[in-house]
């Protein structure tokens, strides 16, 4: 089957294939840990999870990097007010982010690099940009010279004239050659050093701008050219344009072949929800209001396609909770003994729905459409179970269908399936290492699993795992 993804660079759904055979290198913009994650940001993080899961379903090994922004103006302000360092200030919010991801059953990325731990990589890239004439120093700050990069604006299809007059850039009050030039490095201000927010650099003591961290960290973990870069649509300009300008000017290579953007989450009135607009809702708020994290998960990934606006409302969260219950009830019913033989042609129908479900996901991750087919079928299947017409063949197909659905939605098991997902992923990595004859790596993964109380067995159907007592 062919996977098509909507690429913001081309504006069309393009056939996806990675540069490296069967391996996808993917970078997604992560949270700024100045506070709890806002529910609008969670929509983007769950979109990354859906993308990652479907790439795995499509048979790819995925190396996924997501940055943790632990330095920015808000963090500096808050740390200064609290009389603490930025490291101390951000710690609980970074931990809360990982707790949120766990509650929402987001599969972990391979790397979560923190900006403050990659300052040297950023300094190196800024030095390269200075040497190449793509950047300049002005009163201790370093700026990227947009006039030196003719492709600026191609991702968001901006015209450069309009860009110069943009309100967002006009609000800046620095010593720049052009209003649209953006900061790569900001000169240290009094007090920055005391809160751990100033670093030595050849171009003066200071701290990095926000954009350069993604360029430097994606290069560090994934190389010059990514297969996929994803983010919320609000990051397309200026953040992603700036990332492209920095990386492509410094590396002389395309930064990413595919750019994917998820739409906003809107409130009940249709306004974009954001911290600055005062509509500050966190996962904790919704759980405290009585919503099941799995309902929130399903709502965020399946109520609307990721490129459509989604409205948060009590009603839609309740409806998602109802869908979670239907999937869980059905999964429970399938565990009961089946009828002696199949009645009707349910098995064939399920196979058709499995095919349609996969096609919907391959069509730019259309999970809402895929689940639409599934819920329609559940009505028929429940009726067949009621009348004792689900024999072995239909039951087998239904179990396969539920496994397909859980590969993305992952809500039909009330217990946590994160462990299972992690183990499956390590097994896949071990298989890949064995294929590449990297037996040391394969053994390392087996040992790591054994330390966690997981034993592997080779069988005809592939590698199986079971829990054993921890060594
Ligand atoms: Zn970024």
pLDDT digits (tens, 9 = 90+) for 231-270: 999 999 999 999 999 999 999 999 999 999 999 998 777 7
Task: Tell me: pLDDT of 470 over 60.
Answer: no
The rounded Å distance from CA 204 to ligand 1 centre is 24
The rounded Å distance from CA 424 to ligand 1 centre is 29
Alpha helices in 36-176 (DSSP H): 39-57, 73-82, 86-103, 119-131, 160-164, 167-170
The rounded Å distance from CA 213 to ligand 1 centre is 7
The rounded Å distance from CA 137 to ligand 1 centre is 23
Task: Tell me: pLDDT of 165 over 90.
Answer: no
Of residues 134 and 334, more confidently modeled: 134
The rounded Å distance from CA 236 to ligand 1 centre is 9
The rounded Å distance from CA 186 to ligand 1 centre is 18
- 274 pLDDT band, cuts 50/70/90, is low
The rounded Å distance from CA 36 to ligand 1 centre is 18
pLDDT at 272: 73
- 415 pLDDT band, cuts 50/70/90, is low
The rounded Å distance from CA 258 to ligand 1 centre is 14
**Highest mean pLDDT of the ranges 130-139, 387-396, 454-463:** 130-139
The rounded Å distance from CA 426 to ligand 1 centre is 27
Least confidently predicted of 130-134, 378-382, 438-442: 438-442
Least confidently predicted of 53-62, 162-171, 314-323, 344-353: 162-171
Least confidently predicted of 269-273, 324-328, 386-390: 269-273
The pTM for the full model equals 0.85
CA 258: distance to chain centroid? 14
Name the phi and psi angles at 289, rounded to 5. Answer: -80, 5
pLDDT mean over 157-184: 67
Here the tokens at position 13 are: 């759904």
The rounded Å distance from CA 144 to ligand 1 centre is 16
Q: Edge-to-edge, what's the strand order for the sheet holding 61-66?
A: 61-66, 23-28, 226-232, 256-262
Q: How many CB atoms lie within 10 A of CB 241?
A: 24
d(CA 290, CA 284): 10
The rounded Å distance from CA 230 to ligand 1 centre is 9
pLDDT mean over 354-382: 97
The rounded Å distance from CA 234 to ligand 1 centre is 11
d(CA 241, CA 244): 5
- Mean pLDDT score of the chain, rounded to an integer? 91
The rounded Å distance from CA 259 to ligand 1 centre is 12
Paired strand residues for 6: 13
The rounded Å distance from CA 314 to ligand 1 centre is 31
Cβ contacts of 180 within 8 Å, gap of 6 or more: 146, 163, 164, 166, 169
The rounded Å distance from CA 170 to ligand 1 centre is 22
The rounded Å distance from CA 315 to ligand 1 centre is 33
Task: Tell me: pLDDT of 25 over 90.
Answer: yes
The rounded Å distance from CA 416 to ligand 1 centre is 30
Closest of 380, 358, 352, 382 to residue 370, by C-alpha: 358
The rounded Å distance from CA 276 to ligand 1 centre is 19
The rounded Å distance from CA 288 to ligand 1 centre is 31
The rounded Å distance from CA 268 to ligand 1 centre is 28
Helix, strand or coil for residue 67? coil
Q: Which domains does the chain have, with CATH numbers?
A: 4-262 (3.40.50.620), 283-408 (no CATH), 418-467 (no CATH)
Task: Tell me: pLDDT of 290 over 90.
Answer: no
């Amino acid at each position: 089957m062919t996977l098509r993804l909507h690429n913001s660079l081309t504006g069309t759904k393009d056939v996806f294939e990675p540069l490296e055979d069967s391996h996808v290198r993917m970078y997604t913009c992560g949270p700024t840990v100045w506070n709890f994650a806002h529910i609008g940001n969670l929509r983007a993080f769950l979109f990354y999870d859906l993308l990652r899961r479907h790439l795995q379903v499509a048979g790819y090994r995925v190396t996924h990097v997501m940055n943790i922004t632990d330095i920015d103006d808000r963090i500096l302000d808050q740390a200064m007010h609290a009389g603490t360092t930025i490291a101390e200030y951000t710690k609980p919010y970074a931990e809360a982010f990982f707790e949120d991801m766990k509650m929402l059953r987001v599969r972990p990325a391979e790397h979560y690099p923190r900006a403050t731990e990659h300052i040297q990589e950023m300094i190196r890239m800024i030095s390269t940009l200075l040497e190449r004439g793509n950047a300049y120093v002005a009163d201790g700050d370093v700026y990227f010279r947009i006039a030196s990069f003719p492709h600026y604006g191609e991702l968001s299809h901006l015209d450069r004239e309009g860009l110069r007059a943009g309100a967002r850039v006009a609000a800046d009050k620095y010593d720049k050659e052009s209003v649209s030039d953006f900061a790569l490095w900001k000169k240290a201000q009094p007090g920055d050093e005391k809160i751990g927010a100033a670093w030595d650099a050849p171009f003066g003591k200071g701290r990095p701008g926000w954009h350069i961290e993604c360029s430097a960290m994606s290069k560090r973990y994934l190389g010059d050219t990514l297969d996929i870069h994803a983010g919320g649509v609000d990051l397309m300009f200026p953040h992603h344009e700036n990332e492209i300008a920095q990386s492509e000017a410094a590396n002389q290579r395309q930064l990413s072949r595919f750019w994917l953007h998820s739409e906003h989450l809107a409130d009940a009135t249709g306004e974009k929800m954001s911290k600055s607009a005062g509509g500050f809702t966190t996962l904790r708020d919704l759980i405290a209001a009585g919503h099941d994290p799995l309902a929130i998960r399903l709502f965020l990934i399946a109520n609307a396609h990721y490129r459509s606006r989604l409205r948060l409302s009590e009603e839609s969260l309740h409806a998602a909770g109802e869908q979670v219950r239907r999937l869980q009830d059905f999964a429970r019913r399938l565990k009961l003994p089946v009828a002696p033989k199949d009645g009707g042609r349910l098995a064939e129908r399920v196979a058709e729905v499995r095919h349609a479900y996969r096609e919907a996901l391959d069509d730019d991750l259309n999970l809402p459409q895929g689940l639409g087919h599934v819920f329609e079928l559940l009505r028929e299947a429940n009726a067949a179970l009621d009348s004792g017409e689900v024999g072995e063949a239909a039951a087998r197909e239904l179990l396969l269908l539920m496994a397909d659905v859980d590969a993305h939605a992952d809500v039909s098991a009330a217990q946590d399936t994160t462990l299972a997902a992690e183990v499956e992923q390590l097994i896949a990595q071990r298989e890949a290492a064995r294929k590449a004859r990297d037996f040391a790596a394969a053994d390392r993964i087996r040992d790591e699993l054994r330390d966690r109380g997981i034993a592997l067995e080779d069988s005809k159907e592939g590698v199986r795992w079971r829990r054993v007592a921890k060594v």
